[in-house]
A and B are shown apart, each in its own frame.
Chain A
C-alpha cells in the first residue's frame, strides 16, 4: 500500500538519500516501496541531539537511513542500557521502540522515541518545578 504524503509549499522531504523540495503549491505524493522517507519535521541533526533520549532518536534515525542498520546496534543498546540504568521508567518506552525495530518498522520506532523524549523532558522539568517550589 502506498504511503500518501502531503507536502506544504517549500517543504523538504528526504527519500532514501535524495532530497526533494516542494515548489510553491501543496503537493500530494504517493510513495511505494521500502525506501526510508523522512519529512522535514521528523529530521534531527546531530547537534540537536542534546539529551540522552534525543540521542536515541538520532540513532534510530541513522538506523532507518542506513543500508546496514546493524552497524548502529552496539551504540544504540549501549546508550539504552545507560538510560535505563539512570531512569528505569524509560524501560516501557524502550520496550515499545524495540518491538517496532524487531519488526523492521523504523519509522514507527521513531514515533515511539518521541514519547521517550517527552517523558525525559517531563522528568527533568519536574525537578525544575520542585526546585522552584
Chain B
C-alpha cells in the first residue's frame, strides 16, 4: 500500500507541490519527485561549498606565507639587538644594524607584494575582501568569511629604524602585532573551513538519505509503516543505547534538577 497520508504529511506536501496539485493523489510519486528536486538543489549547494573550500585553503596558505614573512622581520630585530647591548655598541655596529634594517624593509615590501597579489578565483581575504558562501539554493542563508588587510600600511608597521634600542623595539612590537593580526585571519579562515566541512558532510548525507528514500518509495506495495515503526520502537538496542554525550547529559540533568520558581498569585 502507498505511504500513509497523515495530516502533517498532507500539509507538507501541499506546501511543496506546485499549486493546484492535490496532496492526496499519487503520494509516493509526488514525494519521490520532491525528494529528487531537493537532492539536485543540494548537489548545487555542495558544488558551491567545494569551490569555496578550495578558495579558503588557498587563502590560508597565502596567509601562512604572510606570517612567515612577518616572523622573518621580527627575527631580524632579535638579531640586530645583539649588536646593541650598550649605546656605544649601537654606534659601533651601526653598519651591521643598518643591514638588518634594510632586510626588514625588504620583508615589508615582500609582504606588500604578496598581499596585493593574493587572489584566488578573484577573492583576496588578505586585502580585507569577503567570501560569501551560499548554504541553501536560494541564497537566503549565507556564511561570509571576512578578510583582514595585511599590508604593512594597514597593519601600522612603521618604517624601520634600528639606530637605537628604543626605535628597534618599536619595529619589533610592530612586527609582533602584525603577526597577531595575520594569525587571527588564519584562524578565521580555519574556523570557516571547519564549518563548511561540517555543512558539506551534512549535505552529502542528506543526498544519500534522499536517494535511499526515493528507492524505498518505489517499493511500498507490501509496506506497513505503522507495524515497522512499532517494531523499531521496541528494538532493544535502540531503546538502551545512550544518545547524549557527557557534556549534553550534564546540561540537561542540571536543567531538570534546577529550581523551578513557583509563581506567586
Write the residues of chain A forming the contact surface with B, with a CB cutoff of 8 angstroms.
Answer: 8-10, 12, 14, 17, 19, 21-24, 43, 45-46, 49-52, 55, 58-59, 61-62, 65-67, 69-73, 75, 77, 79-89, 91-96, 98-99, 101-105, 115-116, 118-120, 122-124, 126-127
Contact = CB atoms under 8 A, between A and B. Distances in A.
7 contacts: A55-B243, A59-B243, A87-B225, A88-B223, A95-B210, A101-B206, A120-B229
Interface in B151-201: 195, 198-199, 201
Contacts of A93: 8-9, 12
B245 A62 contact: yes
Interface of B: 3-9, 11-13, 16, 27-28, 31, 34-35, 38, 42, 45, 135-136, 140-141, 143, 195, 198-199, 201-203, 205-206, 209-210, 212-214, 216-217, 220, 223, 225-233, 238, 242-245, 247-249, 251-252, 254-256, 258-264
B226 A126 contact: yes
B246 to A, nearest CB: 11
B206 A98 contact: yes
B196 to A, nearest CB: 11
Nearest to A77: B205
B248 A62 contact: yes
A96 B13 CA distance: 11
A52 B34 contact: no
B141 A103 contact: yes
Q: Give the residue among B34, B140, B209, B226 with the most A Cβ atoms within 10 A.
A: B226
Given A46-B244, A105-B141, 14 more contacts: A10-B262, A14-B255, A58-B244, A65-B251, A70-B201, A73-B205, A83-B232, A86-B228, A86-B229, A88-B217, A89-B6, A91-B213, A95-B210, A123-B226
B230 A124 contact: yes
Contacts of B13: 92
Per CB-CB distance, the 5 closest pairs between chain A and chain B, nearest first, are A91-B213, A86-B228, A89-B3, A9-B263, A122-B6
Given A77-B205, A92-B34, A95-B34, A103 B229 contact: no
Nearest to B41: A99
Contacts of A46: 242-244, 249, 252
Given A73-B205, A98-B209, A123-B4, A86 B35 contact: no
A108 B150 CA distance: 38
A119 B6 contact: yes
A103 to B, nearest CB: 4
A89 B35 contact: no
Contact of A101 (B11, B202, B212, B262): B202
Contact of B259 (A21, A24, A98): A21
Contact of B261 (A24, A58, A80, A126): A24
Contacts of B252: 43, 45-46
Contacts of B206: 95, 98-99, 101-102
Contacts of B141: 103-105
